[in-house]
Amino acid sequence: MDVKFDLRPELLGYRWAQLRDHEYAGPILTALAVVLVTYVFYNFLYATDIPHIKGLPEIPGAVPVLGHLLQLGEDHASTCEKWWRQYGHSVFQIKLGNTRAVVVNSFEDCKKMLLGNQNAVIDRPKLYTFHGVISSTQGFTIGSSPWDDSCRKKRKAAGTALGRPALKNYYPMFDLESYCILRDMQKDSRNGEIEIDVRPYIQRYALNTTLTLCYGIRMDAVYDDLLREILHVGSAISLLRSASENLQDYVPILRYLPNNEKTARSKELRERRDAYLNLLLDKVRDMIKKGTDKPCISAAILKDQETKLTGVEVSSICLSLVSGGFETIPGTLTSCIGSLSTKEGQIWQDRAYEDIKRYYPDVRDAWTSCYVEEKIPYINAIIKEAGRYYTVSSMSLPRKTVTQVNWNGAIIPPKTMILINAQAGNHDVDHFGPDGGNFNPERWLKSLDPPTETESVGLAHLSFGTGSRACSGQYIASRLLYAALVRLLSSYKIVASEEMPPNTDYVEYNQFKTALVAIPREFKVKLIPRDTAMTTECLSAAEERTKEHYKDVPCDISSKRNIQELADYINQRESHLDILVSNAGIRRDPPVQCDVLTAPLPELQGSMWSSLDTDWADTFSVNTTAHYFLSVALLPLLSAASQLDLGNNQLGRSQGRGVIIMTSSCASMHNVTNVDLTSYATSKAATDHLVRLLAAKFSRFYVRVTGINPGFVPSNMNPVGQEGNMFSALFDQVPAKRAGNEEDIAGAVLYLASRAGSYVDGISLCVDGGRILLANGQK
């Protein structure tokens, strides 16, 4: 017999009136209120989205509201690994505020969960801070996207672009970017004389790879402003994705607190990330318009060549590559170099070097093959061990069940968060042996003489994930690591700094345990050249192969017409110009020389009269007039850079962009020399005044005009250091007691072109080691 309840509003109102008029109405209503409040309060304190899972151990000690969040501390992976060993259960459940999560620790259990149940755990949970605030404008990254048709399409597109068959399309990029690592390390270390921090070079290596793939652009400078902004914002967002940094993801009431710093910080980072992502995409649109775009994911989609993806999906793919690769690859490769630089690691380096020579007796062949194939066993072993030992994403991105999972009789219901402790699994001594907590690349070799790889059977480690949501970029990541290591180890022996050695503990190497992706502690290494001549030859050959990426455009700057052609060329390819260093200069001394400080009048007059009028005209044409026309021709591009919107209420000019730096000379500031530099010094004095004149005219367009006045600095015009140089006698007299060098001038230019010098305008900076003091008699 069916029982039906009549819930019409008028009937409910009647029943309420009856209850209200009942003699025990007060106590009954009070009791109902107490029950209701108790129920709500209990749920607030203890309830989770998923009820307790029967048959699955739960870690004791959960507190009301927060659950296990406080117990987890900053280092969730190490804490969960400790609980595994303490309580004897690799798989257990915990409470993250109002969210119940299942944690998986051992290698075999991680493999079973991800592969044996890959269709059931294909989904990702949506978290308030990352998904709701940070990703509200550009969409989710592929890795963090919940599973749906859009995510499936994005993974397919990324898989096509990053899969093994596509690698051949990127050989020139691998060649170029790995060349740039060695080129700049050699220069900045002075070929091993100075200890260096390798991480900035590797960050650029990884980021340029993803920028080339996504946008067809790259940045050559290690400390490029945009490169640093992308790295800074990406790392800051990584910190905000940690549960210990974002309690509001699991305790919703915290989201509504006044002056919520986490939400405000998330919005600020979102705006800054939007700014550079939009800037990159706008640059691609501009290149498409000018016909100068290069093959890349965003250009292909903007021109509708490839897919049926939406704009948000395109942004998601590019965002995934840009924000993913620049953190994981530098973390792995930097830390790997740290381990190789230790005393024990130098033995591995020597064995790797011998294995390189075994396959490529001519190192030049190793350089040209390392981005095409991965065939050197010892290098492959180092890469596998680096990926295993340095688990840069210690707690893999969380999964969410879409169907129930039967785990040894315990039923894990749909919509349950699954946390894979990749760090614990990668160091599981039950799987990797008693030395699982040590860095040892030879665990992947079945013999050392010669090195022979162990046949690959199944999953090597957990750092790329596995199953239905495995990392799409693992093949390209492996090739990047391989190319860099082959070139680095064939060129240098790497030795750890005594003052700043690396931390090689697989937990403590990470300076921020709360970050989603590890950020290695800073350290320095010394590069000891193996064969300088051979390395130089390899670098020269790589430079020749990749020279198409560097545009050297010849221009006769004494010709106004040629300057206009140069400006047209740049305008067709660039939307803005950050820095113009106008550096050309010539010197035309009188054909008849004399010592102008001691020569009698007839001799002095004869020398000065021997000057040609064409020499004076040529000197001014190059030293002064060219600065004028070059600055005027490129003014619109410089102004565009100055007014470039960098996001976060920052314009280009606040970072020093849109600046002209003219090279003058300290000769413009004195007339005490033993040679006749009259035409040269006069033209340079005119250049100093030109700086002030143009600064006044260009200020309305926010373009700064500055100059530098070098002293004795080596150049083709002034071969300082060569025997018989006319200025050699003065070197020991200047306060600096030496001639200038490239670093002296580069430092001044860097200051004037950076944020530090963004308040300097209409003035020239003298970089002369005190030459002017000497000229003015102030010894």
Q: What is the pLDDT of residues 381-405, one digit of tens each?
A: 999 999 999 999 999 989 999 999 9
Q: Apex CA 555: angle with CA 550 and CA 559, to 5°?
A: 160
Of 230-234, 675-679, 717-721, which range is least confident?
Answer: 717-721
Beta-bridge partners for 467: none
> What is the CATH number that goes with domain 149-548?
1.10.630.10
pLDDT computed for residue 534 by the predictor? 95
Most confident of 172-181, 463-472, 663-672: 172-181
Angle between helices 9-21 and 25-46 (to 10 degrees): 110
Stretch 447-456: mean pLDDT: 92
Q: What is the pTM of this model?
A: 0.71
Quick check: 667 pLDDT over 80? Answer: yes
Provide the pLDDT for residue 1. 41
Whether the predicted pLDDT of 729 surpasses 70: no
Tell me the per-residue pLDDT of 570-596, one tens digit each, with 9 for 90 and over.
887 778 899 999 988 888 888 888 888
pLDDT value at 728 more than 50: yes
Instruction: Indicate the DSSP class of residue 434.
Output: T
Average pLDDT (35-42) is: 64
How many residues would you count in the chain?
779
Same fold, 149-548 and 560-775: no
Range with the lowest mean pLDDT among 56-65, 170-179, 651-660, 765-774? Answer: 765-774
Q: Which of 579, 727, 621, 737 is nearest to 666 (CA)?
A: 727
HSE-up (13 A, CA, CB side) for residue 565: 10
The helix, strand and coil proportions of the chain, stated in percent and rounded to the nearest 5, come to 55, 10, 40
Q: Where are the alpha helices (DSSP H) in 146-296?
A: 149-162, 171-188, 199-215, 225-240, 261-290
The overall average pLDDT reported for the chain is: 86
Question: In this structure, what token pair is assigned to residue 158?
Answer: 């990324």
Higher pLDDT, 9 or 420: 420
Pairing relation of β-strands 659-663 and 704-710? parallel
- Burial (CB count <10 Å: 0-12, 13-18, 19+), residue 537: middle
CA 433/CA 453 separation, integer angstroms? 18
Q: Is the dihedral of CA 634, 293, 152, 419 positive or negative?
A: negative
Looking at residue 234, its pLDDT comes to 83
* Three-state DSSP state, 526: strand
| Inter-residue contact 737 to 743 (CB < 8 Å) | no
Alpha-carbon distance 147 to 414, whole Å?
13
Q: What is the mean pLDDT of residues 671-679?
A: 71
- Longest Cα separation, the chain: 134
pLDDT at 86: 96
DSSP 567-593: HHHHHHH-S--SEEEE--------SS-
Q: In angstroms, rounded to a whole number, what is the distance separating the alpha carbons of residues 640 and 644?
A: 6
> Mean pLDDT across the stretch 428-453?
96
Identify the bridge partners of residue 91 per DSSP, sorted by sequence position: 104
Helix (H, G, I), strand (E, B) or coil at 510: strand
For the chain, the domains span 9-46, 149-548, 560-775
pLDDT on residue 343: 96
The CB density around residue 602, as the number of other CB atoms within 10 Å, is 8
Distance between CA atoms of 103 and 134, rounded to whole angstroms? Answer: 26
Question: Which pLDDT score, from 0 to 100, does residue 717 have?
Answer: 64
From 490, 496, 497, select the one nearest 530 (Cα to Cα).
490
Strand partners, 453: 445
**Single-letter code of the amino acid located at 299:** A
Interatomic CA distance for residues 131 and 144, integer angstroms: 8
Q: 609: Cβ–Cβ under 8 A, 6 or more apart, which residues?
A: none
List, for residues 521-533, the tens digit of each pLDDT value.
Answer: 999 999 999 999 9
Q: Which amino acid is at 298?
A: S
Residue 755 pLDDT > 50: yes
- Alpha-carbon span 383 to 464, nearest angstrom: 13
The answer to whether 400 touches 124, Cβ cutoff 8 Å, is yes
Specify the pLDDT at position 480: 95
Q: With contact defined as beta carbons under 8 Å apart, do 544 and 607 qualify?
A: no
Mean pLDDT (whole number) for 155-178: 87
Cα separations in angstroms, 242 against 48, 71, 263, 396: 19, 15, 14, 11
CB 356 within 8 A of CB 510: no
Of residues 319 and 545, more confidently modeled: 545
pLDDT category of residue 28 using cuts at 50, 70 and 90: low
* Reported confidence tier of residue 556, pLDDT bands at 50, 70, 90: confident
Cis before 450? omega within 30: yes
Residue 495 has pLDDT above 90, yes or no: yes
Q: Write out pLDDT tens, residues 698-719.
A: 999 999 999 999 887 776 666 6
Number of other CB atoms surrounding residue 354 within 10 Å: 12
Residue 24 one-letter amino acid? Y
pLDDT bin (cut points 50, 70, 90) of residue 5 is very low
Predicted confidence at residue 294, as pLDDT, reads 77
Q: What is the pLDDT of residue 2?
A: 45
pLDDT of amino acid 18: 61
Strand partners, 420: 104
Place of tokens 């001519």: 362
Burial (CB < 10 A; 0-12, 13-18, 19+), residue 223, is: exposed
pLDDT at position 29 is: 62
Q: Which fold has domain 560-775?
A: Rossmann fold (3.40.50)
Calculate what percentage of the chain has a pLDDT beyond 90. 49
Measured CA to CA, the distance from residue 254 to residue 257 in angstroms comes to 5
d(CA 314, CA 341): 41
Taking CB atoms within 8 Å and a gap of at least 24, the contacts of 436-441 are 437/506, 438/389, 439/339, 439/345, 439/385, 439/389, 439/504, 439/506, 440/385, 441/348, 441/378, 441/381, 441/382, 441/384, 441/385, 441/386
Residue 172 has phi, psi (to 5 degrees) of -60, -35
d(CA 551, CA 68): 57
**pLDDT per residue as tens digits for the range 346-388:** 999 999 999 999 999 999 999 999 999 999 999 999 999 999 9
